Structure 1
Amino acid sequence: MEQIGLPEKARSCVLKYMMPEYAYQNWRNIFYKNETRFFQEIEKSREKEFMLLYLYLRFAEDLYPAYKGAGIPDCVYYDTFSDLTVWSAHCFKKKCIIGLTEEKWLKLHLKMKLFRLGRLQFEKDTAEKSIHIHIPEGGTLSPKACGESIQQARGFFGDSYKLFDCESWLLSPVLLELLNAESNIIRFQKRFRVLRVNKKVRQAEERVFGEIRVDKQLYPENTALQKSLKRCLLNGRNPGVGYGILI
């Protein structure tokens, strides 16, 4: 918990919580053998968010030997599970409770399908033999950081994975009109050949403003991006999310 930067108050609550070992092992078995049932059962808990934080931290701890056995460095292990801290912070911000949100996203980390390698996250899709690139919040999207991250991923996953793709609001062509050509977002976008755009998804609003509001007039204008995106939305244009393949 210290290594992934979980706040002291959350660490204290987790350490004080007492769950019988048989109960923990039951939760663990259900999670890995029948995830649908796991999510159904966890919904019944009065303290769903805290239970998720507690269980996911312990699941992550249990995974450490598997990381070591696969020869994965500790820095990758801790960087990958720092996402627990990110979504714990979102939980506290939105609900004012210690716990966890986005449990179905975080299951990918716990099933060793997603890893953070430097600045970016990479999700292994064994069915499609492809790697999906995700952009975690925080940190710079500088060409150097992104380039090093992608290069690290190529070595990490090996030659059997040729296709790298990404689906994100950062790949929306509308951003070319809102941002300077030399911005890190545009330079990241230019790494990809954008094949399609889904205009129905409002991910840009959630990422730039922190939430999606019915009344777009209420969005703040604290940054240049917020100002330009708000103006775009008020003109009836939603950037949507673009899907592209790494060039």
Structure 2
Amino acid sequence: MTPNDSSRYRNDLPEIERLIAGLRLPASAVLQLYELAQHPPLDDVRLPDDAESAELLDRLGLAAADRAELVTARPDPQATPELWWLLERCVTLLRERQGSVAPLSPWPDLPDELGAVGRYLYVWVMLTAAADARAFHRSRGIPDDHSWAALGVLAGQLGNRRALHGQGGLHTQNWVTHHFRGAIYVLGRLHFERTMITFDPGSAVAAPGIGAPALGVHIPEGRLTPESCDDALDRAGRFFAEHFPDEPYRYATCSSWVLDPQLKEYLDPDSNIIRFQERFTLSPDTGPDSNSTVIEFIFKRPLAELDQIPRQTSLERGIVDHIRSGRAWHFRTGWFEFPP
């Protein structure tokens, strides 16, 4: 820590201690707040007004239940000063990092004790920063339909929260920041993220080097037919060549439980998932135990309810039986040359 950093830390600490108490956060959140403290707003942060919010929510496709709660959970600098402090700095950070592929420092998870205004705070951050994301899209010549498709991922994340926890709000704020700063785009069946190689690709011939530009492949829910994946990859090749010609993407990567080779024990060789796996060369790193994440993604239920989960498909039976046998699923990372 430099002398200037030390002075800044001493100046920020009393405010951060106050925020920790006001937001009812654990002491471990102090570093997250300290990082956000370095991004004060240069101008007043203005939330979208009622008419602007209604138009945004229409375009983003939020469900009626989420819309109804959101409009009554509007943060206010006087009524909720600590939450407003957080909102201002999150909005500012998104504005500063528009177009960046580097991950942001994580934003703190807010406790349920803060009520609906806390559960929806990060939604208001995204709504406030939407105009900045749209401006970045326009600067790259990205059409409106692609712009709204990328930002519309927010609605699905709200739906996931409601299905998993039985209440509205956003708990995947750190994931959605990628969409609201121009890093991820929805192109048919798959989503593609402007990123770079950050893992050990192994020793295969033509393996990428660390730091090489890459398109991160993300898999929303639904069937992974080879035809739909081929179409998405073709769209991605044309999209990024047109709108990001200065970023030559030679590789595609994916990090997902879908790439766990243990799935071959439960699925037919010609199943969509196994055929998707065959596109990739796996990194040697097996990653941590991801059972809870896999169960939440597939069943929208916590791992603690494993014995109550209905199993209707071979995939669902395999996922649950694997865990019941005392084994773990892993998020595996793989790569292939792009375009394929």
TM-score bracket for this pair, using the shorter chain length: 0.7 to 0.9
The amino acid across from 2:329 in the alignment is P
Q: Tell me which of 91, 94, 100 is aligned to 2:170.
A: 100
The amino acid across from 1:29 in the alignment is T
Q: Which has the higher strand share?
A: 1
Q: Which moved more, 1:54-63 or 1:210-219?
A: 210-219
Q: Which moved more, 1:78-87 or 1:58-67?
A: 58-67
Q: Tell me which of 87, 91, 94 is aligned to 1:28.
A: 91
Q: Match of 2:273? A: 185
Q: What is the distance in 2 between the residues matched to 1:167 and 1:26?
A: 30
Instruction: Report the CA distance between 1:30 and its aligned residue.
Output: 4.6
Change (3 A) 1:102 1:18: closer
Structure with bigger gyration radius: 2
Aligned length: 245
Please give the residue correspondences for 1:12-23 in structure 2 after superposition, counting only pairs within 5 Å.
12-15=68-71
Q: Match of 2:156? A: 86
Q: Match of 1:131? A: 215
Change (3 A) 1:171 1:39: closer
What percent of counterpart residues are identical?
Answer: 24
Q: What is the distance in 2 between the residues matched to 1:96 and 1:234?
A: 26
Q: What is the distance in 2 between the residues matched to 1:184 and 1:117?
A: 19
Change (3 A) 1:217 1:8: closer
Change (3 A) 1:244 1:211: same
Across the aligned residues of Structure 1 and Structure 2, the Cα RMSD in angstroms comes to 3.1
Q: Match of 2:107? A: 39
Q: Tell me which of 184, 198, 204 is aligned to 2:287.
A: 198
Q: Match of 2:300? A: 210
User: Contact (CA 8 Å) 1:173, 1:239: kept in 2 or not?
Assistant: no
The amino acid across from 1:160 in the alignment is P
Instruction: Report the CA distance between 1:201 and its aligned residue.
Output: 2.2
The amino acid across from 1:169 in the alignment is W
Determine whether 1:5 maps to 2:61: yes
Instruction: Report the CA distance between 1:167 and its aligned residue.
Output: 0.9
TM-score, normalised to structure 1, is 0.83
Q: What is the distance in 2 between the residues matched to 1:69 and 1:95?
A: 38
Q: What is the distance in 2 between the residues matched to 1:50 and 1:129?
A: 34
Q: What is the distance in 1 between the residues matched to 2:68 and 2:126?
A: 16
Unaligned runs of 5+ in 1: none
What SS class does the counterpart of residue 39 from structure 1 fall into? coil
Instruction: Report the CA distance between 1:25 and its aligned residue.
Output: 6.2
Q: What is the distance in 2 between the residues matched to 1:194 and 1:26?
A: 38
User: Contact (CA 8 Å) 2:136, 2:182: kept in 1 or not?
Assistant: no
Please give the residue correspondences for 1:48-197 in structure 2 after superposition, counting only pairs within 5 Å.
48-125=118-195, 127-137=211-221, 139-158=222-241, 160-196=248-284, 197=286
Change (3 A) 1:144 1:182: same
Q: Which moved more, 1:84-93 or 1:157-166?
A: 157-166
Q: Tell me which of 314, 324, 328 is aligned to 1:234.
A: 324
The amino acid across from 1:177 in the alignment is E
The amino acid across from 1:8 in the alignment is A
Deviation per residue, 1:193-240 (Å, 9 max, x gap): 223333522243332332342474343223332122222222222231
Q: Which moved more, 1:149-158 or 1:207-216?
A: 207-216
